[in-house]
Amino acid sequence: MANFDGMTALVTGGSRGIGFAVAKRLIADGAKVALVSTKLEGVVAAASQLGENAKGYACDVSSYDDVQALVAAVLADFGKIDILVNNAGITRDDLLMRMSEEEWDRVLAVNLKGSFNTCKAVMRPMMKARFGRIINISSVVGLCGNPGQTNYAAAKAGLIGFTKSLAREIASRNITVNAVAPGLVETDMSGALPEEARNAFIQQVPLARAGKPEDIAGAVAFLAGPDASYITGHVICVDGGMCMV
């Protein structure tokens, strides 16, 4: 029996990159997965690649009301949500000197408030079921900082504080809340980095390569699975050894 037989997962930002790899892995391990992205066409196409156990939904995770409606729709379709993976994220990089208020607000709204919105919406049904696995995708940047990413680092560090506090709030209901902090991973997001910045990043990685989305998916599957049932409030860095904290 696969780890996630009979379980449903909601994966935000599931249309590509890390979120898509996570959805693929959870389905391979037996789960049904609701994939969420801002654009319906892309997420439906991604879900169709994953077969009958995947369904795509359009939702901007930064909108409280839209996330409430999303979770209601997923519960209507699947009956329950056992696993929530808060993976949707964006960057709007700039030195603070040049960063606009819009760049700051948008990155915080998607990367941090998005997780507040989804957790608020799934908490009640998870508490009622006395089971839940919440995995927040942070970043090593939230632990170590990075010039040009004050907004992103603040959001990802905030997500770690959020993870630890929520873990303490709902542990008694058998809901674990953990974070994964990826280093540099080959996706569209990291593809936007200039070659020079990318090479500088890789020079700091003891394993001397960028990660693959599947490397992150493995850590998420571990935290969602039975071998991690006694782990909550933790951050696993999946970064080739870049940020040893």
Ligand X SMILES: NC(=O)c1ccc[n+]([C@@H]2O[C@H](COP(=O)([O-])OP(=O)(O)OC[C@H]3O[C@@H](n4cnc5c(N)ncnc54)[C@H](O)[C@@H]3O)[C@@H](O)[C@H]2O)c1
Residues recognised as catalytic: 152
Size of the site for ligand X (CB under 6 A): 28
Neighbouring-strand partners of residue 157: none
17 contributes a contact to ligand X by CB under 6 A:
yes
Of the pair 173, 212, the CB lying nearest ligand X is at 212
The upper half-sphere exposure of residue 5, i.e. CA atoms within 13 Å in the direction of its Cβ, equals: 3
- Can you tell me whether residue 5 is helix, strand or coil? coil
118 contributes a contact to ligand X by CB under 6 A:
no
Give the strand pairing for 235-238 and 132-137.
unpaired
Of the pair 53, 187, the CB lying nearest ligand X is at 187
Q: How far is it, in rounded angstroms, from Cα 40 to Cα 2?
A: 29
Q: How far is it, in rounded angstroms, from Cα 134 to Cα 115?
A: 10
In the region spanning residues 161 to 190, those forming contacts with ligand X, defined by CB under 6 A, are 182, 184-185, 187-190
Q: Select the residue interacting with ligand X from 4, 9, 10, 13 (CB under 6 A).
A: 13
Return the closest-CA partner of residue 187 out of 220, 210, 154, 155: 210
CB of 26 to ligand X, least distance (A): 15
CB of 110 to ligand X, least distance (A): 4
19 contributes a contact to ligand X by CB under 6 A:
yes
Tokens of 229: 């049932």
Query: What residue ranges bind ligand X (CB under 6 A)?
Result: 12-13, 15-19, 36-38, 59-62, 87-90, 110, 137, 139, 182, 184-185, 187-190
